[in-house]
Amino acid sequence: MNIKEIKSARAGDSYYKIDHPSGLTVFVYPKEGYNSAYAIFGTKYGSVNTCFSLDGGEKITVPDGIAHYLEHKLFESEDGDAFARYAETGASANAYTSFEKTCYLFSCTGKFEESFEILLDFVQHPYFTAETVAKEQGIIGQEIKMYDDSPDWRVMFNMLGKMYHHHPVKIDIAGTVESIAEITAEKLYQCYNTFYNLNNMALCVAGNVTPEQITALCDKLLKPCEKHKIETFFEDEPYEIVEPYVEQSFPVSVPLFNLGFKENAEQPLNETELAQTDILLELLASSTSEMYQQLMDDGLINTTFSFELFEGPGYRAVIFGGESREPKQAAEQIKSYIAKVKAEGLSREDFDCARKSVYGDAVSSLNSVDSVANTVIGYHFNGNELFKYIDAVANTTFEDVQNRLKNMLDVNNCTLSVVKNGEEK
């Protein structure tokens, strides 16, 4: 078993990476003096993994929403529900499915080892029957309808639907009522046995724990898995968007908008590219930026305004969004500002402020056990490492960010999605 300490002289912190004999990659981030612990156990399997092969075999296509469905079902066993077991230890537990991964997690201030055993036990022991699968269809069907009634959810997926021609990122993570009706116990086991192999998974524990403690528990609770080659297939996705505008009527008091700039996504961004992108977006759109102040002064946005890099296997976009009484005007002003800085260049003073802000946020996040654990596991699945990212932020130059801007934010390749009250003109 290989245990490697990963240190950051810059941040004055360290954590451990353990290549466990079972095939699982385990990260332990001890936080001396902390009373709490947080554990997250994830698999590199999300809603976009609907067409795949195992060990070079035939392509397998499964219904949309099956990864999310599997996450729900995994909490159940013949002996009851994992949440009931956590209630006895006092841990707070949850799970989520995103486009690219599924994660199970808990936090606690006591009885850590008992809660940790529950986590590794239920995730490794699926129990699906025709009866329990059928019962879940109604529950998840209601969840899908609830998201359909959420303006925040709809403004995003309407945008993705008009940005992406073929990529499954445009499909709701939970699928549709029609697609989940096709899910069977056999298909759930097929996906589980493919993607819930320990070689395709990772575990991160942060807080009042030690690497020796976690290693001993993993030795006790994990059984070796044979490594397999998993390949996910996507249709070729053009660089160009589908449509530049989409609108939906919704009973909202203030219209919502998402403006998404579609990017090339042949390879995931490395730590250096991530750092440059984060600094650039902070420079352009944070609450201290010139663009933000102009939009606020003109009454085109409010404090709900946000921005993000949206990235995963086969997709990447930069999204600006929030509430606006004039969403089309807000979008045009954002595009005009981006075109202006592309033509005239960025401000060195603004760059210095943005880099300090991104660096400060990255270092301060190390004080949060849940933030650390989620970041470490997310970076791992993308082939990146947390401390390398922090170093990259510190080492990024003004010229790096200026060059990054040249390859991003194509104002001729973006989609505006608006959700507004149907009575408005």
C-alpha span between 368 and 365 (Å, rounded): 6
For residue 301, the SS3 value is coil
Q: Two tokens at 251?
A: 């009973």
Distance, CA of 277 to chain centre: 17
3-class secondary-structure state, position 401 = helix
Contact 61, 138 (CB under 8 A): no
Active site residue 71: yes
Q: Which phi and psi angles does 9 have, rounded to 5°? A: -65, -35
Question: What is the rounded distance in angstroms from the CA atom of residue 267 to the CA atom of residue 269?
Answer: 6
- 336: three-class secondary structure by DSSP: helix
Q: Which residues pair with 81 in a beta bridge?
A: 76
* Alpha carbon distance 138, 152 (integer Å): 23
207: enclosing H helix or E strand: strand 201-207
Q: Dihedral angle at the C-alpha atoms of 221, 227, 229, 234, nearest 10 degrees?
A: 10
Q: Hey, is 21 helix, strand or coil?
A: coil
Write down the catalytic residue from 71, 76, 100, 282: 71
| Nearest to 268, CA basis, from 317, 311, 319, 318 | 311
Q: How far is CA 172 from the centre of its chain?
A: 14
CA dihedral sign of residues 187, 190, 196, 200: negative
Query: What is the spatial distance between Cα 140 and Cα 137, in angstroms, rounded to a whole number?
Result: 5
- DSSP-derived secondary structure for 253-269: SS-EEEEEEE---SS--
Q: Which residues are catalytic?
A: 71
